Structure 1
Amino acid sequence: MDSNALTGLDQRITGCRACPRLVDWREEVARTKRAAFADWTYWGRPVPGFGPADARLLIVGLAPAAHGGNRTGRMFTGDRSGDVLYRALYDVGLASQPTAVAADDGLELRGVRVTSPVHCAPPANKPTPEERDTCRPWLVQELRLLRPTLRAVIVLGAFGWQAALPAFAAAGWTVPRPRPAFGHGARFTLAAEGGGTGGDGGEDLDLFGCFHVSQRNTFTGRLTPEMLREVLTTAARAAGLPAENGATGAPRAG
């Protein structure tokens, strides 16, 4: 696909001011900061997706964290959730390094892109349904641009699942009726319109559910590193990506 088209979309996303509550919150957080990050200049804008334009695997979260992506300007960067996610991506061979601390830290993703259905940090990490729906066209456009190469998607958490299903339908995949239910380890196939022949650049999509990498889930053991690596490995292989050290393998040193 044309990487310039995706770059242009990312730039448009960063200028969005469609949701007054989210604009006020993200900018207030950027002004007041957290004491630990007093020396940082916060991003304080919508956070675009992160990863290559020819990604075969997409990871869909919820929204940027107030002092994570809203501070650094990159998805899942600079917070505990990102620490867990990028470590796991590195462990299975899909990231160049195990840490994500700043947008210029050199991290590269291999065949994977990370995005969210809501691009602004919300108060209490809870976007409203209206904010979710207002932001959905950005995800639809991103999916359409990724469509020529995209073969699998992991959705983190039930909110992301509910937000993403209509976006898949709008971007050219058939969502079964009744809609697939979210669950950790859930797997469904979304048929590409046109029978998955690739005539429009799209193929069938393997959809995977995974508990969100929130502190609540990772601190309580609801989601363990092994569980996360297992989903990542299975989805990567479904997408045609090489994956290492999945559910049973030990993490790489690093």
Structure 2
Amino acid sequence: MSYPGRQAPAAPDLHSLDTALTACRACPRLVAWRQEAARVKRPAFRDWEYWARPVPGYGPVDARMLLAGNRTGRMFTGDRSGDALVAALHDVGLASQPTSTHRDDGLELHGVRFTSPVHCAPPAHKPTPAERETCRPWLVRELELLRPTVRTVVALGAFGWQAVLPVLAAGGRQVPRPRPAFAHGTRVELPPAEPDGAPLALYGCYHVTPRNTFTGRLSPAMLRDLLRTAAREAGLPAR
């Protein structure tokens, strides 16, 4: 059994899960890539200390909304994807500040947690399906631990959507068959996993990549509207 398959189910809480995750070396290609990136630094960050490990989720342990999409560094930090997402969250009242620049910049998320289907930075930002499968136990356990509070999940991009659906099924949710296709604004309601549980709403959102935000495929208004809708359904006071 893989390291994620052994360690993730045994984690009693999110802190333990995140700690175990940062020691993962299950995917040789990703381990080699992250270590090389830390050795051969980008010129703009030559003086920075690189993380060079898997990136855990970020946000409160009692989050009511989960954002799932593939990014590097502290989740959605220090790149233009993070710039767009955190600015939108701040605009609707779910982030303490409009920027996310580094690990100790003071950013706090209000009722929202960031996570990723693949927790290591992949070459060309493209993890393989096999790497996604290897990493899946972390996300399965994360959603299990968040089950008492989380009410909406926003999947960023088709890759995030394709990763989240089987994770929800593995956690006991009844996922429609055939599985719903990804599109921006798609909403799928999943019934409770237990008799006394709560339903969960899954939203699809175009990923906040520069390719989408610079071309207008995903405008700031579109992103704010979707986040606001998902947050309010989760019971968060989004403005």
Matched residue, 1:82: 82
Matched residue, 1:154: 154
2:135 aligned with 1:135, yes or no?
yes
The whole-number CA distance in structure 2 between the counterparts of 1:113 and 1:102 is: 17
Matched residue, 1:62: 70
Contact 1:58 1:112 in 2 (8 A): yes
The amino acid that maps onto 1:21 is R
Task: Give the alignment's Cα RMSD to 1 decimal.
Answer: 1.2
Matched residue, 1:112: 112
Matched residue, 1:226: 221
2:201 aligned with 1:206, yes or no?
yes
Matched residue, 1:236: 231
Matched residue, 1:166: 166
Q: 2:18 aligns with which of 3, 10, 16?
A: 10
After superposition, what is the alpha-carbon deviation per residue over 1:68-98, rounded to whole angstroms, capped at 9, x for unaligned?
A: x1xxxx1011111000000000000000000
TM-score for the superposition, normalised by structure 1: 0.88
Structure 1 stretches of at least 4 aligned residues deviating more than 4 Å after TM superposition? none
Contact 1:59 1:156 in 2 (8 A): yes
Q: CA deviation at 1:28?
A: 0.3
Matched residue, 2:193: 193
3-state SS, counterpart of residue 209 of structure 1: strand
Matched residue, 2:178: 178
3-state SS, counterpart of residue 133 of structure 1: helix
3-state SS, counterpart of residue 154 of structure 2: strand
Q: 1:51 aligns with which of 46, 55, 59?
A: 59
After superposition, what is the alpha-carbon deviation per residue over 1:25-70, rounded to whole angstroms, capped at 9, x for unaligned?
A: 0110011010000000100100000000000000000242xxxx1x
Contact 1:57 1:236 in 2 (8 A): yes
Q: CA deviation at 1:4?
A: 7.3
The amino acid that maps onto 1:86 is V
Q: CA deviation at 1:194?
A: 3.0
Matched residue, 2:97: 97
Matched residue, 2:37: 29
Q: Relative to structure 2, which stretch is displaced further, 3-12 or 210-219?
A: 3-12
Structure 1 residues not aligned, in runs of 5+: 245-254
Q: CA deviation at 1:174?
A: 1.2
Structure 2 residues not aligned, in runs of 5+: 1-10
Matched residue, 1:252: none
TM-score for the superposition, normalised by structure 2: 0.94
Contact 2:171 2:193 in 1 (8 A): no
3-state SS, counterpart of residue 149 of structure 2: coil
The whole-number CA distance in structure 1 between the counterparts of 2:178 and 2:12 is: 37
Matched residue, 2:210: 215
The whole-number CA distance in structure 2 between the counterparts of 1:34 and 1:238 is: 41
3-state SS, counterpart of residue 119 of structure 2: coil
Contact 1:63 1:117 in 2 (8 A): no
Q: How many residues align?
A: 229
After superposition, what is the alpha-carbon deviation per residue over 1:122-164, rounded to whole angstroms, capped at 9, x for unaligned?
A: 0011000000000000000000000000100100000111011
3-state SS, counterpart of residue 46 of structure 1: coil
Q: CA deviation at 1:5?
A: 1.2
After superposition, what is the alpha-carbon deviation per residue over 1:10-37, rounded to whole angstroms, capped at 9, x for unaligned?
A: 0111000000000000110011010000
After superposition, what is the alpha-carbon deviation per residue over 1:185-240, rounded to whole angstroms, capped at 9, x for unaligned?
A: 00010112234x22xxxx11011000000011111111110000010000001101
3-state SS, counterpart of residue 24 of structure 1: helix
Contact 2:61 2:146 in 1 (8 A): yes
Q: CA deviation at 1:172?
A: 2.3
The amino acid that maps onto 2:147 is R
